[in-house]
Amino acid sequence: MEINWEAVGIVFFLILILGMGWLANDLYRGYSNHRDLDGLYLKNYNQTRVNEVTKEYDKYGDWVAVNVRGMTFKEAFETCSHEVGHEIFAEICEDNITKCLEIEE
């Protein structure tokens, strides 16, 4: 039984190409290593670390994310306060709709 070296070479070449593609993909993900989780942008964290960090702070993922780029300090503070107000109001309403309606009046 003879070994078909041409077929072995082709298989080796295909495995090499696939390996290079996998490596290039892995390097690219490492280069742009950031994760977005429910709107939260964490740079230089892998997915496992993102999950650990977010669960450490809030296992339910109640995040308020605001892009403050280009805002003055006052504008950023007012915008963040406003967005946090939405979240707090929603949490109050979630547990007690009557209290929520009283606040609205």
Mean pLDDT of 93-101: 75
Contacts of 57 (CB under 8 A, 6+ apart): none
For residue 25, what pLDDT is reported?
Answer: 85
Q: How many percent of the chain have pLDDT more than 90?
A: 19
| DSSP secondary structure letters along 24-52 | HHHHHHHHT-EEEETTEEEET--HHHHHH
* pTM to 2 decimal places: 0.39
pLDDT at 38: 55
The more confident residue out of 61 and 45 is: 45
Indicate the SS3 state at residue 104.
Answer: helix
- Assess whether pLDDT exceeds 70 at residue 73: yes
